[in-house]
Amino acid sequence: MAAVGAAVGALAALLLGVLAVLAAVFGAPAARAALRVLRLYGAGWAALSVGRDKSYSLRQRADPIGLVDLQSAANPRKRLVFVRHGESAWNEVFNRGFGPGFPVRLVKAWLDELALAGYGDSVFLDSPLSPTGLAQVAEMRAFVAGNASGANAVGDTAAVLRVLKGEAPAGASVVVASNLRRAMATVALGLQDRLARTGEKIAVLSCLQEISRNVDTLSLSPAGACVDIPLVGGKVVRSAGVFDAAGNAGNKPLRGTGLQRLDAFAEWAFTRSEDTIVVGGHSLFFKEFFKTFLPRNAEGLGAKAKKRKIANCGIVALDLVQQGGHYCIPEASILPIYLGFS
């Protein structure tokens, strides 16, 4: 955290200088774009300092298995398919260790950050997919299409793959994503064959925003809108026609908690008519979802889901059961489809 905070502070100071240069050389539009990035860095500093996103405890929360009867056919049930995003540019810099290569990666990212400031873009804020992340997404797409080891899958795995391909009955499933670009791009690119087949839009939900105080979990997309997503090689995922931003309420509140968003998503899921919800999201959000709604005494795969992250571009299916205002994940319903837990 100290290294991350130092990097954020150094970048903010550098961006102040860049802002002045842009205003003098390129005029108001570039300066306004850079100012917006700088404001988000200010929000990032506030989140690091006084944010409460991870300031909650499940100790005072009742065990969900004591609140939800998993055997009752009267209790509504949803099938969730968690799809973790590919590696991000932030992961590329900070998650590959702090050996001799770290300073090189960090300096390169700083330089890229400064170059992007005048366009209102960022390497660290709302961190996009890295080149490795894009390759992971392509591999996931091939798997879903049946060109990888899952081509001959049977049973529940085959049923989930049919959903991901868009071969299930129309209206039986929906695709949603966090309002962070790496999650949006992962489902837009990884499930593009389904989207082309069904013609649907991806619903963007701010309640799926990652649970962390790091600046990479701040969204560049304002409430009610989605930014275009630049990719390596000059390509762009255009938001128009791909994303439905009605559920994007903007960035998570400074004094709010991730637990509030976990509950909000569970509640949202049961307002939908679809039986299956495909969720493009994040490692910590998914891990906290398992910790919150699995039984306290979960063993085996359930215990693993609470402790381990889903791998980059990993796909894991599960059921969520509702009784009144309470929710529970049946341990036996957890089904790794692709890559599973890291």
* Strands (E) located in 93-205: 173-178, 202-205
Better-scored residue on pLDDT, 284 or 1: 284
pLDDT of residue 153: 52
C-alpha distances in Å from residue 230, one per residue of 133, 138, 174, 185, 237: 13, 16, 25, 9, 6
Residues 190, 170: Cα–Cα separation, whole Å: 19
Residues 308, 316: Cα–Cα separation, whole Å: 12
What number is the average pLDDT over the span 8-18? 54
User: Residue 189: how many CB atoms within 10 A of its CB?
Assistant: 21
Instruction: Locate 133 and state its tokens.
Output: 């992340």
Which amino acid, 328? C
Residues 326, 266: Cα–Cα separation, whole Å: 9
Residue with tokens 């009605």: 246
Residues 190, 185: Cα–Cα separation, whole Å: 8
Reported as a pLDDT band with limits 50, 70 and 90, residue 308 is: very high
Residue with tokens 């065990």: 63
What percent of the chain is predicted at pLDDT more than 90? 66
What number is the average pLDDT over the span 282-293? 98
Find the DSSP H helices in 191-322.
192-198, 258-269, 283-293, 301-307
- As a CATH number, domain 57-88+127-338 is 3.40.50.1240
Closest listed residue to residue 118, CA positions, set 20, 215, 42 = 20
Residues 91, 219: Cα–Cα separation, whole Å: 16
Residues 323, 270: Cα–Cα separation, whole Å: 11
Closest listed residue to residue 279, CA positions, set 197, 180, 199, 193 = 180
- Tens digits of residue pLDDT in 180-190: 999 999 999 99
- Tens digits of residue pLDDT in 74-133: 999 999 999 999 999 999 988 887 888 888 988 888 888 877 877 778 889 999 999 999
pLDDT of residue 6: 52
Query: Residue ranges per domain, the chain?
Result: 1-50+90-124, 57-88+127-338
* Strands (E) located in the chain: 77-84, 173-178, 202-205, 229-230, 236-237, 243-244, 276-281, 315-323, 326-328, 335-338
Reported as a pLDDT band with limits 50, 70 and 90, residue 15 is: low
- Tens digits of residue pLDDT in 189-232: 999 999 999 999 999 999 999 999 999 999 999 999 999 998 87
265 backbone dihedrals φ, ψ, rounded to 5°: -70, -45
Residue 47 has pLDDT above 70, yes or no: yes
Residue 135 has pLDDT above 90, yes or no: yes
Better-scored residue on pLDDT, 62 or 171: 62
